[in-house]
Structure 1
C-alpha cells in the first residue's frame, strides 16, 4: 500500500480569507503613531467631545439653590477632601504698628493636619470691620507666598531682609509697587493671607518638585489642588470668626492662581460674601490649545480636580458663587488666558447672575495690559468692594 502525503483541503481558502481580513498595503498607515502631540494624547479631540458639562447652569434650571448645592457637592467630591472642623486655636506671636492698622503674625490650625503662620492686618479703629481673604499667586516663585499680598515684617536680620526684597520686587512687577493687602487695610479692612503648601514657610518648591508633590498627594489618597481648596475654605472661615470682622462683609481676593482660588472659595464657602478675581478665568476649550501654559503641567496641578471637568467647566464652578457680588479682571494681552476664551467665560457666567436677578452684582472687565493687577485696577476693585459692602 502506497503512503501518500495529504494536503488539507481548506488551506487555500484559509489563506484567501486571511488576505481579505488583513490586506497588505505598501504605503499606508492605519494605526496610531505617535500617541502624543503638544503634551496631549493624540485622541484629545475625542476626549474634548465628551466634555459636555452636564451640570452647568442652563435656562432649564428652575431651582437655583438646588443647582448650586448639587454643583458644590460635585466640586467637593472631586477635591478628594473630607470636612474639617478642627478648632483654630489661634495665637498672635508678633505684632507691628503700621499707622492706621496693626500687622500681626498669627499661628492657627488651618486644618486638622496643618498649623500655619499667617499675616493678619487689623485696623485700629473700634468695632467690626469688612474683611478680605488674600490668596497669593503661583508665578513659579516659591520663596514667598503670603508676602506677595501683605508686606512682610521688618528687616531685623539677613533672612528677613532677603524676604522683604523678594516681596518688594514681586510687588513692583505685578502690583505697581504696593502690597494689595496693605492697601486694603489702610482703607479699614481686616486682611488675612496664609501660605499654600509649597510657598513661603511651607516651601520652597521647584517646578519639578511640585509635579512630584502632586503625584504623591494622589498616592496618599488626596489631591494637591483639593487640599488647597479645603485650606482656602478654612482660612475664610477663620477670618470670618475673628471678633474684629463683620461676618456679612468678607471678600476673597486673588491674582493669577490666587484669582482661581478666590472664585473657587467664593463658590464653595458661605463665609465668603464677595469675590474679586484678577487674571484667571477662561473656558477649558480655550485653554487646552497648542502653546497654552495649561498644556505644560506644572502650575496646572494646583488647579486640577480629577474628573471635575466632565461635569463643570471653570466658569460653571465660578458661577456657583452667584448671586454674591463678583468682580473679574482680565488683561487684553495676557498670554496665559486668550482673550476670546476669557470673554466666552464671562458671558457664560453673566447669564447665571442674570438668572438670579442679580446682574448688577456681576462685573467682568477686560482691561488693557497683560498678566498683572496694577494700581488702577486695584483702586477700581477696592472702590467697587466699598460699594458692595456699603462702606463710605
Structure 2
C-alpha cells in the first residue's frame, strides 16, 4: 500500500514539500501523468459504496429494490413518457428480414432516426436493442451494428468498423437473420446526432453544459437507452418477454445498465466493459482522462454503488458479460473482482445459471465472430430458442 501511494504521489500534478515546520503543496516539476491530485489516495479511501452488495445482505430482493431506487434517482435526470409517434421513412428487403429507417421521439426534446430490422414470418419475435461503443469515431453510431444503405460514406465507414472489431460482420444483421427484431440507435454525439470536431473539442463541453443544466452526459444516454428499450418492447412484432440489450465497449456499459434499470429489458449481453471503479482508477486509464469517461460517469454514484453492483441490479434476469484477457482498458484483476461480485448476487438469488462471465485470454478490445456466436447461442438458450 505504501509503495503504491508513493508511486501515485509521484504522478500527482501537485506535490508536498517541507519548509521549516510547515508542509504545503506545490506544482510538480516532472509529472508524466497529471490526472491525480496528491491527496488522491485519501479521496479514494473515502469511496464508501454504502449500498454495495456484501455478505451481510439478508434479502436479495430488498437489496435490489433499494438499489434500483437509488440508481434511478442518481442516473436518470428526469422522467419521460412522451408518445413515440414512430414513422417509417425508408425500407429495404434483405435475405430473411426487412430493414427500415424509423423516426421516433426518444424523449420530449429529441426526435431521432433509428435502424430497425424485422425477421420474415409471423411474430411476435424475440428482440434486441443494440447499443454502440464510444470508439472515438462519431460519424457513425447506429451504423456500427447494423448495415446501413443509401449513404455510401457511412456504409464505408461502418464496414471499416465492422472489419476492425466484429470480424467483418454487422452483429445486428446477424441476429436479425437468427430471427430477432433489432433496433439500433445513435447516442447523443454519434451518427446523425454528432457535430464536426466532437472528438477533440465538444465532448467535454457537452458534458459540462449538461452539468450546468442539472443533468449529465451519462444520464441523458441512460435515459434515452431506457426509452429506446420501451419503444422496442412496444412494437407489435416483438415478444415482450424476450427483449435483450446487446452492447460492445461503452455499449456494454449501456447494456448492463439498461438491463438493470429498465423493466422492458429481460436479458443482457455485454462485451468488453466490466470492472470495479477503484480498479479502473489507475494511471493511463480512460476513466481518468475526461472526454469519453463523461458518457459513463454518474455524479455521486461512488457514495452508494460500484459498477458491478449496478449491473447486479439486473438479477435475476439473464446476463452475459465477456472480457478480453488482452484488453488494456480493463485490468484483468479488476474484471475478475467485478465478475466475482456478480456471481455472488446471482447465486444469492438462486439463479447463478442465468449468469455467464468469461475472460477470453487471447482477445483484446473486440467482439469477434466466435465471441458473437457464443453470445448469441447463449441468448437463444435463455429465450428458449432451439436451432
Give the TM-score of the pair, scaled to structure 1. Answer: 0.90
* Corresponding residue of 2:10: none
- Structure 1 distance, partners of 2:106, 2:171, is 22
The answer to whether the aligner puts 1:387 opposite 2:363 as a matched pair is: no
Looking at CA atoms only, which structure, 1 or 2, has the larger radius of gyration?
Answer: 1
* Corresponding residue of 1:45: 41
Match of 2:175 among 184, 187, 202: 184
Match of 1:258 among 242, 251, 268: 251
Match of 1:349 among 322, 326, 342: 342
Match of 1:68 among 46, 64, 67: 64
Deviation track 1:238-272 (CA, whole Å, cap 9, x = no partner) reads: 00110000000000000000000000001100110
- Structure 1 distance, partners of 2:346, 2:76, is 28
The answer to whether the aligner puts 1:275 opposite 2:271 as a matched pair is: no
Deviation track 1:209-254 (CA, whole Å, cap 9, x = no partner) reads: 1000000001111111001000000100100110000000000000
The 5 A counterparts of 1:3-82 are 30-34=23-27, 38-79=34-75, 81-82=77-78
* Corresponding residue of 2:144: 148
* Corresponding residue of 2:163: 172
Match of 1:202 among 193, 198, 201: 193
C-alpha displacement at 1:58, in angstroms? 1.8
SS in 2 for 1:32: strand
* Corresponding residue of 2:327: 334
Could you say if the C-alpha distance between residues 388 and 27 of structure 1 is closer, same or farther in structure 2, counting changes exceeding 3 Å?
A: same
Match of 1:101 among 88, 97, 101: 97
Match of 1:374 among 344, 356, 368: 368
Match of 1:125 among 97, 104, 121: 121
Partners of 2:60 and 2:345 within 8 A in 1: no
Partners of 1:102 and 1:122 within 8 A in 2: yes
Structure 2 stretches lacking a partner, 5+ long: 1-17
C-alpha displacement at 1:119, in angstroms? 0.2
- Structure 2 distance, partners of 1:41, 1:72, is 32
C-alpha displacement at 1:33, in angstroms? 2.3
- Structure 2 distance, partners of 1:359, 1:342, is 18
Larger displacement relative to structure 2 (70-79 or 241-250): 70-79
C-alpha displacement at 1:30, in angstroms? 1.3
* Corresponding residue of 1:113: 109
C-alpha displacement at 1:29, in angstroms? 6.1
- Structure 1 distance, partners of 2:324, 2:122, is 38
* Corresponding residue of 1:289: 282
C-alpha displacement at 1:26, in angstroms? 6.0
- Structure 1 distance, partners of 2:225, 2:379, is 20
* Corresponding residue of 1:22: none
- Structure 2 distance, partners of 1:371, 1:216, is 31
Deviation track 1:284-304 (CA, whole Å, cap 9, x = no partner) reads: 111001121211111100000
Structure 1 stretches lacking a partner, 5+ long: 1-24, 155-159
C-alpha displacement at 1:63, in angstroms? 2.6
C-alpha displacement at 1:42, in angstroms? 1.5
C-alpha displacement at 1:194, in angstroms? 0.8
Give the TM-score of the pair, scaled to structure 2. Answer: 0.91
- Structure 1 distance, partners of 2:143, 2:43, is 40
C-alpha displacement at 1:64, in angstroms? 2.1
Match of 1:162 among 153, 168, 175: 153
Deviation track 1:165-211 (CA, whole Å, cap 9, x = no partner) reads: 00000000000001010000000000001101110000032232100
- Structure 2 distance, partners of 1:144, 1:276, is 21
Could you say if the C-alpha distance between residues 352 and 202 of structure 1 is closer, same or farther in structure 2, counting changes exceeding 3 Å?
A: same
CA RMSD of aligned residues (A): 1.4
Partners of 1:38 and 1:290 within 8 A in 2: no
Partners of 2:324 and 2:366 within 8 A in 1: yes
* Corresponding residue of 2:234: 241
- Structure 2 distance, partners of 1:208, 1:65, is 44
- Structure 1 distance, partners of 2:79, 2:192, is 25
Could you say if the C-alpha distance between residues 169 and 60 of structure 1 is closer, same or farther in structure 2, counting changes exceeding 3 Å?
A: same
